[in-house]
């Protein structure tokens, strides 16, 4: 990817539409979305500032609670100017809660209104909020996703996968768990000067080709080739709608430029579309498989693909306390013995970014040899809902 850095104070300046302007613009946007055939969205760091994750290009005078962008702070440090960032509520990506905009996208995709989502954000919040993998291109990678260099298998983890120190180094030190492959795993983060993932990029351009409306939210539209995607929609005669506080190089191609915070726009938009913004809950899936005299416990994502969730799993393998077995390494396997009860109690431990407490699952191995459980955690209440067995 390549970048056009913000240089002038005019480019850093934030604009705000008046109440009347906003009302009129969002009215228009809602009408266009409702009559669209292929509505897509494009997101940048601006949709995650409401989650406490600072962006890149906000100036020193930004209204955002996260304060100036990372690059603005770095530039001021270099110039040895005193840097007084705002008292921002900035949080790590792993502890951030999806914003109203993230959650609105989930329901627009579920309702079939939004056909595809393209994001430049690496915070993983779109997938975390519940957007299915096949509905999104994460052009610059995902902090939770690593891929096998040899066979391409993807591994979603409930922790930051990147641990390479050099910008162009991507090996994570972990290996593909496919016994016939065992290739090295690489983080999915794309740095400047590196090529974007081909499949994600192609998917994004294919959707842009047939899009009649593209809603760009919270992106300065200065990083290519990502910014060429919304531009393609406009060039094809589709409507490009840009929601951003600062002006962007694509403003002149837009059918509408909305200057307001993303969550404020999305709240009004969803009201007009009469779609509720759902409250975020953490949906997790757990597969318990009982084969060849062992029990294997593994985390799964919404599509039931492998997802590293548990730093520790415990299982009581008999009647006495000594029979309590602990696994701290994936795959979490427990050998079955003649003393193993038919009803197994499996205690799952989590990374706990949102205060997830351990949870005990009951698995009757005489009932079936494989079961998939859906477990739901309400981070606002701090409790797990009762586990539901899917099959």
Question: Is 353 known to be catalytic?
Answer: no
210 in a known ligand binding site: no
Strand partners, 243: 217, 258
CB 239, CB 253: distance < 8 Å:
no
Considering beta carbons, is residue 183 or 225 the nearer one to Zn ion? 183
Residue 280 near residue 379, CB atoms below 8 Å: yes
Q: How many CB atoms lie within 10 A of CB 58?
A: 27
Choice between 85 and 183, CB closer to Zn ion: 183
Tell me whether residue 181 is annotated as binding. Answer: yes
Who contacts 27 (Cβ-Cβ below 8 Å, separation ≥6)? 272
Residue 114 to residue 99: CA distance in whole angstroms: 18
Tell me if 297 sits within 8 A of 146, measured CB to CB: no
Range 125-154, binding Zn ion (CB under 5 A): 148, 150-151, 153
Q: Give the position of tokens 């009647």.
A: 319
Phi, psi of 135 (to 5 degrees): -105, 5
Q: How far is the CB of 174 from Zn ion (least distance, A)?
A: 11
Stretch that binds Zn ion, among 79-87, 94-102, 179-187, 229-237 (CB under 5 A): 179-187
User: Does the annotation place 148 within a ligand binding site?
Assistant: yes
Please say which residue, 176 or 270, places its beta carbon nearer to Zn ion: 176
- Which one of 53, 176, 229, 273 is in contact with Zn ion (CB under 5 A)? 176
3-state SS of 65-115 is: CCCCCHHHHHHHHHCCCCCCCCCCCCCCHHHCCCCHHHHHHHHHHHCCCEE
Residue nearer to Zn ion on the CB measure, 175 or 390? 175
DSSP-assigned letter for residue 219: -
Smallest separation, CB 377 to Zn ion (Å): 31
Helix (H, G, I), strand (E, B) or coil at 370: strand
> Any binding-site annotation on 176?
yes
Q: How far is the CB of 186 from Zn ion (least distance, A)?
A: 11
Q: Which of 102, 126, 140, 332 is catalytic?
A: 140
C-alpha closest to that of 56 among 66, 126, 130, 28: 66
Q: What is the dihedral of CA 326, 164, 85, 217, to 10 degrees?
A: -90
Q: Tell the smallest beta-carbon distance from residue 176 to Zn ion (Å).
A: 3
User: Binding of Zn ion at residue 183 (CB under 5 A)?
Assistant: yes
Binding region for Zn ion (CB under 5 A) out of 64-72, 77-85, 170-178, 355-363: 170-178
Nearer to Zn ion, 183 or 358 (CB): 183
Q: Site mask, Zn ion, residues 276-315, x = CB under 5 A?
A: ----------------------------------------
Shortest Cβ distance from residue 248 to Zn ion (Å)? 39
Instruction: Specify binding-site residues for Zn(2+).
Output: 148, 151, 176, 181
Residues belonging to the active site: 140
Would you tell me which residues interact with Zn ion (CB under 5 A)? 148, 150-151, 153, 176, 178, 181, 183
Instruction: Specify binding-site residues.
Output: 148, 151, 176, 181
């Amino acid at each position: 990817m390549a970048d056009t850095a913000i240089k002038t104070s005019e480019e850093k300046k934030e604009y705000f539409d008046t109440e009347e302007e906003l009302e009129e613009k969002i009215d228009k946007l809602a009408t266009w979305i409702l009559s669209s055939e292929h509505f897509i969205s494009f997101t940048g760091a601006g949709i995650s500032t409401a989650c406490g994750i600072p962006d890149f290009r906000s100036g020193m005078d930004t209204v955002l609670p996260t304060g100036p962008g990372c690059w603005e702070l770095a530039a001021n440090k270099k110039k040895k100017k005193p840097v007084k960032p705002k008292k921002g509520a900035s949080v790590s990506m792993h502890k951030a809660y999806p914003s109203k905009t993230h959650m609105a996208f989930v329901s627009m995709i579920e309702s079939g209104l939004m056909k595809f989502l393209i994001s430049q954000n690496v915070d993983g919040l779109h997938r975390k909020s519940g957007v299915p993998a096949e509905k999104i291109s994460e052009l610059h990678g995902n902090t939770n996703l690593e891929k096998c260099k040899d066979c391409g298998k993807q591994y979603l983890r409930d922790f930051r996968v990147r641990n390479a120190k050099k910008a162009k180094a991507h090996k994570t030190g972990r290996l593909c768990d496919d016994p016939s492959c065992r290739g090295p795993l690489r983080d999915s983060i794309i740095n400047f000067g590196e090529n974007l993932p081909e499949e994600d990029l192609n998917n994004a351009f294919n959707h842009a080709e047939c899009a009649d409306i593209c809603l760009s939210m919270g992106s300065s539209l200065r990083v290519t080739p990502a910014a060429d995607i919304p531009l393609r929609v406009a060039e094809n005669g589709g409507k490009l709608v840009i929601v951003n506080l600062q002006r962007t190089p694509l403003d002149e191609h837009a059918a509408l430029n909305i200057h307001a915070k993303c969550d404020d726009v999305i709240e009004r938009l969803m009201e007009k579309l009469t779609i509720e913004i759902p409250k975020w809950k953490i949906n997790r899936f757990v597969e318990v498989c009982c084969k060849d005299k062992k029990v294997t416990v593994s985390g799964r994502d919404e599509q039931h693909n492998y997802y590293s969730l548990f730093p520790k799993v415990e299982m009581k393998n008999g009647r006495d306390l000594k029979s309590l077995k602990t696994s701290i390494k994936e795959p979490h396997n427990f050998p079955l013995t003649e003393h193993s009860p038919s009803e197994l109690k499996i205690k799952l431990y989590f990374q706990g970014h949102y205060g997830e407490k351990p949870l005990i699952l009951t698995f009757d191995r005489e009932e079936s040899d494989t079961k998939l459980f859906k477990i739901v955690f309400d981070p606002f209440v701090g409790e797990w809902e009762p586990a539901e067995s899917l099959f």
